[in-house]
Amino acid sequence: MITIIAGTNRPNSNARVISEIYAGLLKERNIDCQILDLVDLPNDFTNTALYDNCGQDEGFNQLVSIIEQSEKAVFIIPEYNNSIPGVLKTFIDGFPYPNVLRNKKTALVGISTGTQGGALAISHFTDILNYLGVHVLAVKPRLMFIHKNLHQGKLTNTLYQDLLNEQIDSLLNF
Amino acid sequence: MITIIAGTNRPNSNARVISEIYAGLLKERNIDCQILDLVDLPNDFTNTALYDNCGQDEGFNQLVSIIEQSEKAVFIIPEYNNSIPGVLKTFIDGFPYPNVLRNKKTALVGISTGTQGGALAISHFTDILNYLGVHVLAVKPRLMFIHKNLHQGKLTNTLYQDLLNEQIDSLLNF
Amino acid sequence: MITIIAGTNRPNSNARVISEIYAGLLKERNIDCQILDLVDLPNDFTNTALYDNCGQDEGFNQLVSIIEQSEKAVFIIPEYNNSIPGVLKTFIDGFPYPNVLRNKKTALVGISTGTQGGALAISHFTDILNYLGVHVLAVKPRLMFIHKNLHQGKLTNTLYQDLLNEQIDSLLNF
Amino acid sequence: MITIIAGTNRPNSNARVISEIYAGLLKERNIDCQILDLVDLPNDFTNTALYDNCGQDEGFNQLVSIIEQSEKAVFIIPEYNNSIPGVLKTFIDGFPYPNVLRNKKTALVGISTGTQGGALAISHFTDILNYLGVHVLAVKPRLMFIHKNLHQGKLTNTLYQDLLNEQIDSLLNF
């Protein structure tokens, strides 16, 4: 089982659309997968799921257990202010110890409406995951100008579709 | 006016204690300062202050206006999972455009209970601030094993006190 | 005096061309400047100017003294393998202690033939300079697809020229 | 075959000493390994092995072919000025295309005489290797105060020896 994480709590995000597309590419290969959209985080999780409250918020725990059950994870990471969404990092900060991602293999996809495609975001997130003992696939596509390359839930840029398929090839052998 | 930001919403954090110490050092020099502790973020701000709700949460807006009124800012940044606290990044992600920190001069202090003193945290935060047009002082003390160097709200390590004073010297001329 | 450093030893580099353009923009404002092109590094400087040989290579020392005499520095940084040129870092590694850049103010320009414009290169170089006590201007233009935007020593992309002029405005007030 | 790269051209470096220790740990497990010490780089390789001269320097090519023949690589990386040695990056910059490390699995060890243990150095090098399609093991020991923890070619700090052995366990399963 591979979990695809839409890495923002923005409703109806492009990260969610890319997650759906990614899931479609995996299903074409008969790979089991599920989507975890951070829009489903409890509204007050920064108050109920961190620090001394770690493990106390049932809604938060359910999202963590989805990752726990999966062998591999794919993070679809929108670039916010030259890094990852704060909400994605806060989600990680709420994980119980030992970390549920530990020793899992992961793949990162950066997306942005600007020119960078999340270059720094995926670098920062690699630092975070590696520190937690999580392996990160070297192949990390950056999908820049994402809003110009999506139409009605489909990627209109065949290069981007090729990049995702190459990453999947690599992830399945990682 | 200099604002010191305790960069986590953890109650009674070491970041808050260091913020108080920092304020004391500024006051010894007769510099006006105030503390903004992210523990005062609204409980559900990830739901009420981001994206389409940007600018809609009065409690959040009040924290932003504290920064807006100050000329310089000092961020006390605890290291969480080899980066900055997710909550600090989420606070930044909720800023209105144009960013209230733009063109201000800032100083960063990294703190950790481990060996790094926030080395990666302050690197990541520099990437974020520079992207937003915010200048970051080169001098960035890293206070490692912070819990062993604090006692009853005082720094017991004179090196750490010297490092903070050197940063203040540099910040006042920045 | 501002020194502009063409940050590679590649002969006839685009970094050199951008350095010339940058010098032209400064001269339009009657600002004194000079170019230091790393193509002028001694051929064997990795053997004669580092570690126990620090300070022993006259040709190397002359390049260092050019920086020493200037108040501010601008680094034109081509992206090599998702970071700065090794030769630029080796140049820095050969600096005597205390570092001649210490407390100076610097500006960075990233250039690349690919899509990133040196995003990671300028992040890494900021880490290096800040560690050495060197202030880095927040405004860091990234000039991507540089080979398509240069013709006979001129920038054909007016956006890029505007970005350089905005950086100069900011550097002069830094 | 695993190649261990002593990541500096400094003669008699601590990186070489750690490389020998690492080789000893691999041999205890009957794993074939060899050491590549960057002290063996040709003196003028920045002039003879880069850019239009790529592939032209026989001495340089021999070092590259050592890596080419190995399945996995371990980089022992001293921290120089808050990043990797310039010479290590320059070595990578001279690699022919397609990169000989591509798709190989690698492990990184950071060493420093200061407090960081190469935290930023290994982050920067991960950015570089991942960009080149090289997988990096999440487990990256940082050996700080290395000069106080070595005596006559042996690690006197058993924690450091444990960290290297844990990395080897993980590398063999990577």
Rounded-to-integer distance, Cα B16 and Cα B29, Å? 20
Reported ipTM: the value is 0.97
Cα-based angle A141, A61, B83 (whole degrees, multiple of 5)? 50
> Strands (DSSP E) along chain B, which ranges?
2-6, 33-37, 72-78, 105-111, 135-136, 142-143, 150-151, 154-155
Tens digit of each residue's pLDDT (9 = 90 or more) over D114-148: 999 999 999 999 999 999 999 999 999 999 999 99
Rounded-to-integer distance, Cα D89 and Cα C93, Å? 12
Reported confidence tier of residue A41, pLDDT bands at 50, 70, 90? very high
Rounded alpha-carbon distances, angstroms, from residue A45 to A59, A95, B3: 9, 12, 27
Q: Do B116 and D119 touch (CB under 8 A)?
A: yes
- Dihedral through CA B53, CA B57, CA B60, CA B63, nearest 10? 120
Interface test with D, best of C12, C82, C134 (most D CBs within 10 A): C82
Is the backbone of residue B71 left (phi > 0), alpha (psi -120 to 50) or beta?
A: alpha
Question: Which chains sit next to D, with 3 or more Cβ pairs under 8 A?
Answer: A, B, C
**The pair of three-digit structure tokens given for residue A58, joined into one six-digit string:** 């049932």
Q: What is the pLDDT of residue D165?
A: 98
- Cα–Cα nearest to A38, from A83, A79, A7: A7
Rounded-to-integer distance, Cα D35 and Cα D42, Å? 17
A90 to chain B: nearest residue by CA?
A: B86
D138 to chain A: nearest residue by CA?
A: A130
D102 to chain A: nearest residue by CA?
A: A138
How many CB atoms sit inside 10 A of residue D83's CB?
27
- Structural domain of residue A167, as residue ranges? 2-172
DSSP state, residue B38? G
Tens digit of each residue's pLDDT (9 = 90 or more) over D140-171: 999 999 999 999 999 999 999 999 999 999 99
Q: Do B116 and D120 touch (CB under 8 A)?
A: no
Q: Do C10 and D91 touch (CB under 8 A)?
A: no
| Preceding peptide of D98 cis, ω within 30° | yes
Number of domains making up chain B: 1
Contacts of C115 in chain A (CB under 8 A): 115, 117, 142, 144
Element (H, E) at C143: strand C142-143
Rounded-to-integer distance, Cα C78 and Cα C129, Å? 16
Reading chain B (174 residues) residue by residue, the pLDDT tens digits are: 999 999 999 999 999 999 999 999 999 999 999 999 999 999 999 999 999 999 999 999 999 999 999 999 999 999 999 999 999 999 999 999 999 999 999 999 999 999 999 999 999 999 999 999 999 999 999 999 999 999 999 999 999 999 999 999 999 999
Which among D81, D85, D128 has CB closest to C132?
D81
The structure's pTM equals: 0.98
CATH code where residue B34 lies: 3.40.50.360
**The pair of three-digit structure tokens given for residue A41, joined into one six-digit string:** 């985080």
Rounded-to-integer distance, Cα B103 and Cα B112, Å? 28
